[in-house]
Amino acid sequence: MAIQAESSKPKNFLVRFFTMDTSGAKGVGRKLPLWRQLLIQLLCLVIAIEVMFPLMYVITMSLSSKSERPTSLQLFPKEINFGAFKQVVDRPTANPVTFGRLALNSFILSVSVGLISLLIAVSAAYAFSRFNFSMRQVLMILVFVPLLMPGVGLATPLFLLLNSIKFVNCGGGLYALTPFMSCVAGVTPKIIFNLRDSLLGVGIAMISGALPFAIWNLKGYLDTIPKELEEAGKIDGASSNQIFFKIVLPLAVPQLAVTFFLGFIGYWQEFVLPWLFLTKPQNYTLSMTLYNMTGQYATSIPWNTFSAFSIIVAAPVAIIYIILQKQIVSGLTLGGVKG
Amino acid sequence: MGAATAFSRGKNALRRGGLPYIYLAPAFIVMGIITFYPLVYQFIISFSDFQTKDLLYGISSPKLSWIGIKNYIDIFTGGLPVQNFDFFRVLTYNFWWAITNVAVHVPAGILIAVLLNIHGIWFKRVYRAIYVLPIVIPPLVVATVWRNIFDEQYGAINQGLSAVAHLFGSVNPVHLRWLTEYTPPIPWLLPNSPLPLAYYAMMIANFWLGWPFMALVATGALQSIPKDLYEAADIDGASGSQQFWNITLPLIRPAMIPAAIYGFTLSFNLFNFVYFMTGGGPARSTEILVTFAYDLVRNLRLYGAAAAFSMIILVVALTIFLITNRITRATAASEA
């Protein structure tokens, strides 16, 4: 009775405005009065400004025609000039390497590292998730430790390992593949192909870090697939391998995609290993070129082209991330929840 | 399905106990060659004075001399030919850096996720799209931009502070040397602070970089909480904050603890950001273990010492892993 009496009381405009239900929910639900909505909007806007602040800086610089650093704080572009973008695409570096070549190198490297590590990881993740065997603890620790080791930690031995594999011309129509064969003593061999100094070699080195991550991320997800499905398969007479390939693998496809994409972001931006290994400009990647532009001293950076280049490198990943956000969120949490 | 049939044929020959090892084989063969073999190699060269001239021959180099555990002793006693190096200071700073980062990222991430998860707020999708941007910007770009923002002369922070100082009647522009000053900030408050101004600048920049990931994980966890729990709490008359402490927090904890640990190891080894933002400076006061290891390889070319350093990092990482593994039980069987 009290409720009815209250609702029939006439209210002035302001009270009605600020107690307005903005939740959009139909029927019974929690109400969000307008004053709270406005307060939350204000908070969200403040956070959005915090996020956008450095990004606006980059966008403003990229649209400027001057390559010097702005001397006053400028968050909104005064002029809109796509000269920097054009310059980046036309002639990205001092070397005669096209933008397309750099982008292709980055793309091939990150896609193949992502795919290959995923292929190798999925069966190992399955074994860790579904089987109890005596070496399980030890082997899992062996997989996780490299994950904690940064790429830098193994750079020297990987360099030595990959550097020892060379295809050389011994002269006189003779070729050799070191370290398995070598030229006759006294002949200085001419290097035709050095695994270390190639995209293939860098890819191999990157897989060394990518593989443990893929196993870790997939294992967490496989843990959440109900065992009942497999048991049902077993009753129907499916072998372990049939269960893996026909039941578990199809169910894991969304997480395979998420793991691939999470890795892809990292390898797309990876700079240390390519930077230490590659010497030929035609093998350079986008991130290496970006690093090249920052030089040793901040003042010498061509700010507008650097910013334009940054946007070109970041934009594709950002767009895919925003589109796939829902899948990534669920993939990440499922991959992480183990408690 | 070719691989599958090959597997089943092999399976007949093996007892059931061998099956997990067959599934593990591809990963461990690959890791054996490109992860564990280099690791062992690294261990071996950590006992030598491996230098640039030895790169061509590896450990069979004729000029290589074996110096036993000298590299390790040098690292612990500060005997490396490197200025401003004290291993235990770097180690302590590294832990402090990782812990303080996680301590601000996780609560901020949770609060922002809860804020955006309120039923019926406008522009939810727009905000979600904006808030993930820091995750996908290359670290080099993030660090370069923030370095610019903290610049002594042209930086946005100093210009903003100058504007604030103007309001209070000061005419001098603020020229804080955020990234290069190494006397402790606010000397009357923190006279013996080991943390330079650059640490606080990096915390601010890394806060920008770090909370969105935590918010992302928290959002996923929040969405899996059944709605009727809140409805029941509403009926029982629980206030918003009571619901937060008694429903939300306990239920997202299983997702947040592994995320926090992941964030900890990520911050602990945050090479790209630290290297590009300050390069470990000023005077190596913001150096972390991995940036130091990189410096040993890339600039100082002390490969033997760098190998020993990497081995020490590995031991530290292993210790962290074993401790955190206790907390999350990451390697526990799925049904356990």
DSSP string, A160-226: HHHHT-EEEEEETTEEEEETTS-PPTT--PEEEEESTTSHHHHHHHHHHHHHHHHHHHHHHHHTTS-
Rounded Cα distance, B152 and A299, in Å = 12
Residues 6+ apart with CB under 8 A from A150: B269, B271, B290, B293, B313
The pLDDT value recorded for residue B3 is 56
Check whether A53 has a pLDDT greater than 80: yes
Residues 6+ apart with CB under 8 A from A292: A93, A284
**Closest of A311, A57, A50 to residue B207, by C-alpha:** A50
The helix, strand and coil proportions of chain A, stated in percent and rounded to the nearest 5, come to: 65, 5, 30
Q: Among A119-123, A228-232, B9-13, B277-281, which range has the highest average pLDDT?
A: A119-123
CA distance A173 to chain B (A): 25
- Beta partners for residue B66, in sequence order: B48
Query: Between chains, do A32 and B119 touch, taking CB under 8 Å as contact?
Result: yes
Query: Between chains, do B332 and A317 touch, taking CB under 8 Å as contact?
Result: no
CA distance A22 to chain B (A): 6
CA distance A209 to chain B (A): 8
Check whether A49 has a pLDDT greater than 70: yes
**Closest of B42, B11, B35 to residue A240, by C-alpha:** B11
The chain A residue lying nearest B204, using CA atoms, is A50
The chain B residue lying nearest A142, using CA atoms, is B36
pTM, rounded to two decimals: 0.82
The chain B residue lying nearest A207, using CA atoms, is B34
Check whether B4 has a pLDDT greater than 70: no
Residues 6+ apart with CB under 8 A from A269: A287, A313, A317, B138, B139, B140, B272
Rounded Cα distance, B223 and A287, in Å = 36
Residues 6+ apart with CB under 8 A from A282: A97, A101
The pLDDT value recorded for residue A323 is 83
Check whether A24 has a pLDDT greater than 80: no
Query: Between chains, do B217 and A336 touch, taking CB under 8 Å as contact?
Result: yes
Pairs across A and B, CB distance < 8 A: 310
CA distance B187 to chain A (A): 29
Check whether A144 has a pLDDT greater than 70: yes
**Closest of A195, A196, A185, A256 to residue A225, by C-alpha:** A256
At B309-318, the pLDDT tens digits run: 888 988 888 8
Mean pLDDT across the stretch A331-336? 60
Confidence of residue B329 (pLDDT cuts 50, 70, 90): low
Rounded Cα distance, B132 and B145, in Å = 17
Confidence of residue A122 (pLDDT cuts 50, 70, 90): very high
CA distance A281 to chain B (A): 19
Percent over 70 (pLDDT), chain B: 90
Confidence of residue A167 (pLDDT cuts 50, 70, 90): confident
Mean pLDDT of chain A: 81
The pLDDT value recorded for residue A200 is 93
Nearest CB among A48, A223, A241 relative to B4 is that of A241
At B226-261, the pLDDT tens digits run: 888 888 888 888 888 888 898 888 888 888 887 888
Query: Between chains, do B144 and A22 touch, taking CB under 8 Å as contact?
Result: no
CA distance B185 to chain A (A): 24
Give chain A positions within 8 Å (CB) of B31.
142-143, 146, 208, 211-212
Residues 6+ apart with CB under 8 A from B13: none
Query: Between chains, do B28 and A337 touch, taking CB under 8 Å as contact?
Result: no
Query: Between chains, do B34 and A161 touch, taking CB under 8 Å as contact?
Result: yes
Query: Between chains, do B129 and A322 touch, taking CB under 8 Å as contact?
Result: yes
Tokens standing for A204? 């191999």
At A83-117, the pLDDT tens digits run: 888 888 887 776 778 888 999 999 999 999 999 99
Using DSSP, state whether B48 is helix, strand or coil: strand
At B57-92, the pLDDT tens digits run: 777 777 778 888 898 999 898 888 887 788 998 999
Q: Cα torsion at B292, B298, B304, B305 (round to 10°)?
A: -20
**Closest of A52, A55, A57, A51 to residue A69, by C-alpha:** A57
Q: Is the Cβ–Cβ distance between B217 and A328 less than 8 Å? A: no
The pLDDT value recorded for residue A333 is 63
At B20-52, the pLDDT tens digits run: 888 899 999 999 999 899 888 888 989 998 888
Comparison of pLDDT for A183 and A286, the residue scoring more: A286
At A273-305, the pLDDT tens digits run: 888 899 888 889 988 888 888 765 445 678 888
The pLDDT value recorded for residue B257 is 84
The pLDDT value recorded for residue A10 is 64
At B253-288, the pLDDT tens digits run: 888 887 888 888 889 888 888 988 888 778 888 889
The chain B residue lying nearest A52, using CA atoms, is B130
Residues 6+ apart with CB under 8 A from A183: A168, A170, A171, A174, A176, A189
Confidence of residue B190 (pLDDT cuts 50, 70, 90): low
The pLDDT value recorded for residue B266 is 85
Which among B115, B334, B335 is the top mutation candidate for probing chain A, defined by the most A β-carbons within 10 Å of its own β-carbon?
Answer: B334
The chain B residue lying nearest A292, using CA atoms, is B140
Mean pLDDT across the stretch A46-73? 84
The pLDDT value recorded for residue B189 is 66
Check whether A269 has a pLDDT greater than 60: yes
Give chain B positions within 8 Å (CB) of A64.
none
Query: Between chains, do A22 and B127 touch, taking CB under 8 Å as contact?
Result: no
Rounded Cα distance, B19 and B30, in Å = 18
DSSP class of A39: H
